[in-house]
Amino acid sequence: MTHRLDLIAPHGGQLINRIATPEQKQEFLEKAEFLPRVPIDDRTASDLVLIAIGGFSPLTGFMGQADYDSVVENMRLANGLAWSIPITLSVDESVAAPLTEGSLIRLDDSSGRFIGVLHLTEKYTYDKKKEALKIYRTDEEKHPGVIVVYNQGTVNLAGDVWLLERDPHPQFPTYQIDPAQSREAFKAKGWKTVVGFQTRNPIHRAHEYIQKCAMETVDGLFLHPLVGATKEDDVPADVRMRCYEIILEHYYPQDRVILAINPAAMRYAGPREAIFHALVRKNYGCTHFIVGRDHAGVGDYYGTYDAQYIFDEFEPQELGITPMMFEHAFYCTRTKQMATTKTSPSKPEERVHLSGTKVRQMLCQGIMPPPEFSRPEVAQELIDAMRQRTQLCDA
């Protein structure tokens, strides 16, 4: 007797697919020279991809005003479905003015390549300062998410989209596992419960500790680093990916982890982005999601555990994915193991945890961080990379 393996439903109940069929692609290519063109930046291009592959299900395109207003104000789409980050296509008034609602728009990436089509259903203006305060909890231009909002256009273009073609990732094609594929992979492994882990940083011992704590209670780990646009002083994606490969090879059970890339751009929206990251991983098939210290934070804009507290603003069934909350982990010199304040009897001076800034300074100087903080193979990879990228050390 075989047992059917039902994966968690995508957010909204259906995994969206907005990749053009061969017939649609041919039709769009034939019209290409006659369609009005709208250039989009790298973040918008990554949003287009994630809509198309179902990572942003139930979205089928860029948000109209009703959804936008509801998300900004209430963290829900106009139909009441939980959603915490506006997904918009913003352009200058001069670009929006000649565009006609009801028409098809050609979307070109930053290199001028035709990559998608928008069926324009709505044009609307929005309050940038309000979006900044609601989404990022600040209107300061030095916040990397806020400055993106301030620099983008004043008019949002809304409507369904089509991605012309799903291209292999230029850097990590073997790790490009889209939601339909990750769901099949989980099924093939017989995983009923899968915990997702979001990261934009190289993996260190505290990450390893909370991942392995989570792995004790689920069938598998979906290690899902973000490889879209990040801050200039963040460690580059290729370096981070090599660190993940190294640590998985030496320190993790091979059959219980899947490493895949998340093509999204980082927004640094702290609590709101924690909800967003969880819903995206739900679409990839994860049943659980790790929320650690200062998730998706930057600077001192958010409280240490604000990204955990925000989950209390939703009923569990609204999100449908289970958050796994972890405190800040450290190496306890008294018990000689990784721990948190929940499990360690140590005093503050008996705990080894270094700030990201301090570690970066050590790496730039060629100093190996203590093994209590970082696996030596990973630290060496970072030191080598830092030597080649002096701008990271100068930042």
**Three-point CA angle 329, 333, 334, nearest 5°:** 110
Q: Are 252 and 266 in contact (CB under 8 A)?
A: no
Which two three-digit tokens encode residue 146?
């806020």
Which two three-digit tokens encode residue 378?
């990973």
To the query of whether residue 281 is one of the catalytic residues in this protein, the response is no
DSSP 223: E
Bridge partner list, 292? none
For 362-383, what is the HEC assignment? HHHCCCCCCCCCCCHHHHHHHH
Q: Per the residue annotation, which of 201, 242, 256, 389 is the catalytic one?
A: 201
> Measured between alpha carbons, how far is residue 303 from residues 300, 352, 392 in Å?
7, 21, 26
Which two three-digit tokens encode residue 298?
């930057």
Q: Are 359 and 202 in contact (CB under 8 A)?
A: no
To the query of whether residue 200 is one of the catalytic residues in this protein, the response is yes
Which two three-digit tokens encode residue 260?
């895949």
Q: Are 228 and 46 in contact (CB under 8 A)?
A: yes
d(CA 110, CA 229): 13
Q: What SS3 state is found at 288?
A: strand
Q: Which long-range contacts (CB under 8 A, 24 or more apart) does 363-372 make?
A: 364/392, 364/393, 370/331, 372/205, 372/331, 372/333
Q: Per the residue annotation, which of 18, 183, 200, 360 is the catalytic one?
A: 200
Q: Are 55 and 179 in contact (CB under 8 A)?
A: yes
Q: What SS3 state is found at 96?
A: helix
DSSP 204: -
Judge residue 3's burial from the number of C-beta atoms within 10 Å of its C-beta, 0-12 exposed, 13-18 middle, 19 or more buried.
exposed
Q: Please give the positions annotated as active site.
A: 200-201
